[in-house]
Chains A and B, each alone.
Chain A
Amino acid sequence: MGKIVNFDLLYLCFYVISLSFAFLSQGFKRKILYCLSDLSFFIGFIIHSITFIFKWFSLSIIPSRNLGELLDTTALILVLVYFGSKLFLKNREIAFFLLPFVVLFLFGSKIFIFKTQETFAFYSSVWFPIHILLLVSGIALTIFAFIYSTIFIMQDYSLRKRKIANELMLPSIETAGRLGKNYLITGFVFLTSGLFTAIYYGIAMKGENPDYHPGLLEVGTFLSWLTLGISSFGFIRSSMKPKKRVMLLMVGATLFLLIFFGLLWH
């Protein structure tokens, strides 16, 4: 177990190094620093993945039994989406925005001690990892939509301020808008599927866990999903002005994440 803790700190270290390079790469010698940032990011990702798989095998349960583990899994899926989308997109600037989320989630999972619930019977169900992976992927994709929306607002702001040169080499407004929308829709589909699988296996396994009583967590999750759903609907509605749409999405995504993780914290 001691070794696992060391590995936990090791990949966190690589992510922090990567974040430092990502901040520095916005200035002089951008390319070299960016490469160093991406390299550290990738090494961190590899160690993170191996540690995650090792934990999964040793626990026989996907490591998401408490908020700390869920945050760690979310951080891993975020990085996975980043490297996965690299195959199709030129997204080097995204690391700059993504790494703070990754580091924040990991710090959150390492700093605070979370109580692990007793192993319920439904943990062993195949639906549990499906539910977790769908849910976490949905969260990760929503965070990507949030990041692209932020870029959209930043680009719009600098254009209105007559700062024509794209100093941060960010994606164009059109790209940011399109990718934000795509990530949002995909993320919402994943989230919804994640919630439905939870309902499905919850009902199916009910008999095996008599202590289980749906309560605040379930209602809150539904509310957070509804909040995101409303803002996503507003975003996709093309009759709405672009800046308002993006602002709505950002507010919706922030509320969703706050409610969701707040509930788990509670």
Chain B
Amino acid sequence: MALSEIFLIGLNHKSAPLDIREKIAFSEDEIVPFLNEIKREGVLGGVLLSTCNRVELYIDLPSSKKPEYFLLHLLKKKNILESMRKYFYLKSGRDVVSHIFRISSGLDSMILGEPQILGQVKEAYFLAKDSGNITTTLNLLFQRAMYVAKKVRSESGIGSEPVTVSYAAFTLARTIFSDVSAKKVLLLGAGEMIRIVASHFYDEGSNNITVSNRTFERAVEFGKVFNANVIKWEDFPEEIINSDLVITSTASPLPIIKKSLLETVMKIRRWKPLLIIDIAVPRDVEKDAKDIDGLYLYDIDDLQKTADKGLEERKRRAQIGERMIDEEVALYGHFLEHRELPKLIESLVEEAHKIGEEEISSVLHKLKVQEDEEHLRRAVFRVVHKLIHSPITQLKKLVLEEERDEAMEIFERFFFNEKKESKKVEQN
């Protein structure tokens, strides 16, 4: 019942190319006005999730409204041709529950198991909640999705393996240092690859970064990105002594850091741990240096192998996550069922007694003795009660036998359809 009222309209990195995703993306400032706008159009409540890989609108719709209308509304809002609707997916009921549970857990992400999506889901939820655009059903759904995501992440361990070169480098640093953000980082080179890897460290809080490049001006320019100190190229060997982590990626055809240099450096450092990430091809550091005590040297192949292995491991763990989500979706459905069933029974009891009361009222004036009124009321109450007892018992039994949807639908049609039909006629 409640499940079928929630719809999802959306697109993601699997269903739509980047140029379409770019056009449909919402900035944070646009989200609340849009949610208010669709509320005026008849949506009971909505949550809009807009990230670089997906735009998804979760709406709680009354049965009188069609979700397709809001898809067209979305396209119109973003000035996108109607033909582009092929990139969108529309889900309802159980599929929405399963979808939000999966995406919150990172199982539907471009980088399998990435954790940022949970934060983005939370943000979207709070944005809708704070602006008064959330309904009880959406609230329950998102609260549960966040709970499930945490559970899946912790119990399947899906996020524990690095799947990118930069994440592998960061994981490596964490295995060596207690507080990576407090460590001194030296960047040798100013290319794209080193920028990607260094960004990960910078985003995680590393703010003691030094840059060195053959072209000093380029180093200065590059250093601005990370708020880094810049040193001359010839000074870098000395700088290694004071650094904890060296990331190197230059275009040099020969190694720029020799084993003998590192032996001297390590001796001066008194073998304090030093991590060198050499992502240059050909390598910037002599490969024999990896045997030096206290020095941990990794090249691009080491990191790539770790990332590949991590991805394989995540795929395996994702299967565990998928199974957990199936269980959670079933549990959530069960929870909603038991939330809906008493309401339905209550409506029936109320309706049946109302009919009985109407019938009593229609014959009351014909009664000659006042005392008979009480007897009549009791008799009608017993008849009504006996009549509805059997269907209610059967309904409860069917719900337990997992034929809940069919049973509730038949039950509703059987007892309330006429009323609904008459309401429709009245409205028309």
Indicate if the CB atoms of B302 and A165 lie closer than 8 Å: no
Contact code string B173-214 (vs A, CB < 8 Å = 1, else 0): 011111000000000000000000000000000000000000
Q: Does A230 contact B (CB under 8 A)?
A: no
Which residues of B from 282 to 310 have beta carbons under 8 Å from A?
A: 290, 293-294, 296, 298, 302-303, 305-306, 309-310
Select which of B154, B162, B168, B175 is within 8 A of A159 by beta carbon.
Answer: B175
A28 to B303, CA, bound (A): 25
Task: Provide the residues of chain B in CB contact with A175, threshold 8 Å.
Answer: 178
Q: Is B171 an interface residue (CB 8 A)?
A: yes
Q: Which residues of B contact A239 (CB under 8 A)?
A: 270
Q: Is A3 engaged at the interface, CB distance under 8 Å to the other chain?
A: no
**Chain B neighbourhood of A242, CB < 8 A:** 271, 273, 293-294
* CB-defined contacts of B157 to chain A, threshold 8 Å: 28, 30
- Of the stretches A99-107, A122-130, A166-174, A201-209, the one at the interface is A166-174
Residues of A within 8 A of B273 (CB): 173-174, 177, 242
Q: Judge whether A165 and B178 touch: CB under 8 Å.
A: no
Residues of A within 8 A of B154 (CB): 30-31
Of residues 207 through 252 on chain A, the ones whose CB sits less than 8 Å from some CB of chain B are 238-239, 241-244
8 A Cβ contacts from A6-43 to B:
28-32
Asked if A159 and B174 sit within 8 Å, CB to CB, the answer is no
Q: Answer yes or no: B155 CB below 8 A from chain A CBs.
A: yes
- Contact in complex: A241, B175 (CB < 8 Å): no
Give, as a whole number of angstroms, the nearest-CB distance from B134 to chain A.
30
- In the complex, the answer to whether B306 meets A159 with C-beta atoms within 8 Å is no
> Is A59 positioned at the interface, with any CB of B under 8 Å from its CB?
no
A162 proximal to B (CB < 8 A): yes
**Per a CB cutoff under 8 Å, which of B171, B178, B320 touches A164?**
B171
B348 contacts A by Cβ under 8 Å = no
Question: Is A172 in contact with B155, judged by CB distance below 8 angstroms?
Answer: no
Rounded to whole Å, the gap between the CB of B22 and the closest CB of chain A is 34
Instruction: Determine the residue in chain B with the shortest Cβ distance to A243.
Output: B293
Tell me if A165 and B270 are in contact (CB < 8 A).
no
Given contacts A164-B302, A172-B177, A174-B176, contact A241 B171 (CB under 8 A): no
Is B56 engaged at the interface, CB distance under 8 Å to the other chain? no
- The answer to whether the Cβ of B161 comes within 8 Å of any Cβ in the partner chain is yes
What CA separation (Å) do A30 and B160 show in the bound complex?
Answer: 12
Given contacts A241-B271, A242-B293, contact A173 B176 (CB under 8 A): yes
Contact of B176 among A159, A162, A241, A243 (CB under 8 A): A159
Q: Which residues of A contact B160 (CB under 8 A)?
A: 165, 167
Q: How distant is A26 from chain B, measured CB to nearest CB, in Å?
A: 11
Nearest B residue to A159, CB-CB: B296
Contact A172 B271 (CB under 8 A): no
Residue pair B310, A165 in contact (C-beta under 8 Å)? yes
Cross-chain contact A165 with B293 (CB below 8 angstroms): no
Q: Is A150's beta carbon under 8 Å from chain B?
A: no
Please tell me if the beta carbons of A164 and B306 are within 8 angstroms of each other in the complex.
Answer: yes
A235 to chain B, nearest CB (A): 13
Q: Across the two chains, which residue of chain B brings its CB closest to A32?
A: B155
A168-188 interface with B by 8 A CB criterion: 171-175, 177-178
Complex CA gap A244/B162 in Å reads 31
Cβ of A155 within 8 Å of any chain B Cβ, yes or no, is yes
Q: By the criterion of a CB under 8 Å from any partner CB, how many residues of chain B are at the interface? A: 31
In the complex, which residues of chain B have a beta carbon less than 8 angstroms from the beta carbon of A162?
Answer: 298, 302, 305-306
Number of interface residues of A (CB under 8 A): 27
- Structural contact, B175 and A166, CB atoms closer than 8 A: yes
Chain B hits for A243, CB < 8 A: 293
Q: How far is the CB of A54 from chain B (nearest CB, A)?
A: 40
Would you give the shortest CB distance from B297 to chain A, in whole angstroms? Answer: 10
B172 at the interface (CB under 8 A from A): yes
Contacts of B172 in A (CB 8 A): 159, 164
- For residue B305, which residues in chain A have a CB less than 8 angstroms away from its CB? 162
Complex CA distance for A177 and B176, rounded to whole angstroms: 10
Cross-chain contact B270 with A28 (CB below 8 angstroms)? no
For the complex, give the distance between the alpha carbons of A242 and B175 in Å.
16
Residue of A nearest to B151 (CB): A31
Task: Please name all residues of chain A whose beta carbon is closer than 8 Å to the beta carbon of B177 when the two chains form the complex.
Answer: 172-174
Residue from A28, A160, A238 in contact with B155 in the complex, judged by beta carbons closer than 8 Å:
A28
Q: What 1/0 mask marks residues of chain A from 131 to 174 whose CB sits below 8 Å from any chain B CB?
A: 00000000000000000000000010011101011110001111
Complex CA distance for A239 and B294, rounded to whole angstroms: 12
In contact, A165 and B306 (Cβ under 8 angstroms): yes
B162 and A164 contact, CB distance less than 8 A? yes
Q: Are A173 and B293 in contact (CB under 8 A)?
A: no
B157 to chain A, nearest CB (A): 7
Chain A contacts to B: CB under 8 angstroms? 28-32, 155, 158-160, 162, 164-167, 171-175, 177-178, 238-239, 241-244
A-B contact pairs, 16 of them (CB 8 A): A28-B155, A28-B157, A28-B320, A31-B155, A166-B174, A166-B175, A172-B174, A172-B177, A173-B175, A173-B177, A174-B273, A175-B178, A178-B178, A239-B270, A241-B293, A242-B273
For the complex of A and B, the 6 pairs showing the least CB-CB separation, nearest first, are: A241-B293, A175-B178, A164-B306, A238-B270, A174-B178, A166-B175
7 more CB-based (< 8 A) A-B contacts, given A30-B155, A172-B174, A242-B294? A162-B298, A165-B313, A173-B176, A175-B178, A242-B271, A242-B293, A244-B293
